[in-house]
Amino acid sequence: MEKNNRDAAFLQVGNKLLDWYKKNARDLPFRQTKDPYKIWICEIVFQQTRINQGLNHYNNFIKRFPDVQTLAAAEEDEVLLYWKGLGYYSRAINIHKAARQIMNEYQGTFPSEYDEILKLKGVGKYTAAAVSSICFGGRMPAVDGNFYRVLSRVFADDFDISNSRAFVYFSELANLVMPENVGDFNQAMMDLGSEICKPKNPLCGVCPLNKDCLAFSLNKISEFPVKTKKVKTENLDLTYYFVHRNGQFLIQQRKDDFIWKKLFEFLPAISAELEPFIKSSKTISHKLTHKNVNIEIYDVEVDSETVWNDFTAQNEYLITDLEGFHHKSFPKPLENYVQNSLKD
């Protein structure tokens, strides 16, 4: 009997959240559909990415690749082009692999079971739960950073969210408050976490859960969530040679085992015959989340047609111009360098 009262109190929290969501849901393009393809794409785009940052990328991506057939038929490089500037480029590579996976293993029909969705490349427990609940009535909580923050505050729970067991732990807390409509519940949690229960300066005065929030009643909101793991940054030094002549320049494609997977870059080294054509150099500093990148770029303008033809014939570097450049995906600092450099 005591357990039933407790369950009822928890369920009330979930229903309050749903009531708030009905009136305050954000008007987002992917809220108008239950097409699993579009929901899947939006879940991937907005991983570790704020809505305002990814919205144009999402809309452009859906316009170019409106369905899984179109995406699967495209080249990987074009998918990367539409991901340009978004970061975490393995998402683009995996999204393309998963599209072909759906064509080959599921006959082009998006899988509807959580366990099957989970098998898609780049789809983890969060994304599988989100797509499953929003599109197919699945009943798994889509536990993300918003769940960690909201639930740790509501329960004044100091479980360390940087602990690798946090996902399981907060999934169990989520199950306590989860109502019937799991799809809306998951999206409501995201909107509450984004608009009300923000990391800093949360709007507890207008929060639909403030009567149920233990951290708020204890005036300890700022103590939750607990996160012990610190972000450490390292230095990364890169050298590039921007070898060009008459508006053309040489590039190559990066591997998929380090940063900027499969994006294009300038030459990391040159042979002795090109050294006389080095005109200048400049250093660019670029901050990543876990790295401070210092890039030394040498401007190599090859004045000799003979040397240019000789060099390009002997090497397998790609030749491009400004037009071709706009159709390839470059790391942000190199993108900026080209746009400032070739204006002359």
Partner DNA sequence: AACCCGGGGAA
Partner DNA sequence: TTCCCAGGGTT
294 touching DNA, by CB under 7 A: no
Which tokens hold the place of 295?
């890039």
Catalytic residue among 2, 43, 76, 335: 43
Q: Where do we find the tokens 């990543």?
A: 288
Q: Which two tokens stand for residue 167?
A: 């996902």
For 294, the token pair is: 């210092």
Instruction: Quote the least distance from Cβ 331 to DNA, whole Å.
Output: 5
Nearest to 285 by CA among 328, 337, 323, 320: 337
* Per-residue mark of binding to DNA, 65-104 (x: CB under 7 A): --------------------xxxxxx---x----------
CB 174 within 8 A of CB 143: yes
Indicate whether 332 belongs to the interface with DNA (CB under 7 A): yes
Q: 152 with 218: CB under 8 angstroms? A: no
2 counts as catalytic: no
Residue selected from 11, 74, 156, 259 as contacting DNA according to rule CB under 7 A = 259
Of residues 91 and 245, the one with the C-beta less far from DNA: 91
Min. distance of Cβ 210 from DNA in angstroms? Answer: 19
Considering the complex, what minimum distance in angstroms separates the CB of residue 263 from DNA?
Answer: 7
Q: Who contacts 262 (Cβ-Cβ below 8 Å, separation ≥6)? A: 76, 77, 80, 89, 93, 253, 254, 255, 256, 329
User: For 220, what's the count of Cα atoms within 13 Å in the CB-facing half-sphere?
Assistant: 15
Binding residue for DNA, selected from 112, 145, 181, 326, defined by CB under 7 A: 145
Residue type for 79, please? Answer: V
Q: Is 325 in the site for DNA (CB under 7 A)?
A: no
User: Which residues are within 8 A (CB) of 300 and not within 5 positions of it... i.e. 6 or more apart?
Assistant: 241, 242, 243, 244, 270, 274, 277, 278, 279
d(CA 84, CA 335): 10
Residue selected from 6, 220, 282, 290 as contacting DNA according to rule CB under 7 A: 290
* Residue from the set 34, 64, 100, 121 that interacts with DNA by CB under 7 A: 121
Shortest approach of DNA to residue 152 CB, angstroms? 11
Interface with DNA, residue 53, by CB under 7 A: yes
Minimum CB distance to DNA, residue 245 (Å) = 27
Q: Which of 219, 224, 223, 196 is nearest to 208 (CA)?
A: 196
Provide, rounded to whole angstroms, the least separation between the CB of residue 258 and DNA. Answer: 5
Which residues between 156 and 215 bind DNA (CB under 7 A)?
A: 163-165, 187, 190-191, 193-194, 198-201
**Range 11-50, binding DNA (CB under 7 A):** 26, 28, 30-31, 42-43, 46-50
Residue pair 111/94 in contact (Cβ under 8 Å)? The answer is no
Q: Which residues bind DNA (CB under 7 A)?
A: 26, 28, 30-31, 42-43, 46-53, 85-90, 94, 121-128, 130, 144-146, 148-149, 163-165, 187, 190-191, 193-194, 198-201, 227, 230-232, 258-261, 286, 288-291, 331-333
Mind telling me the catalytic residues? 43
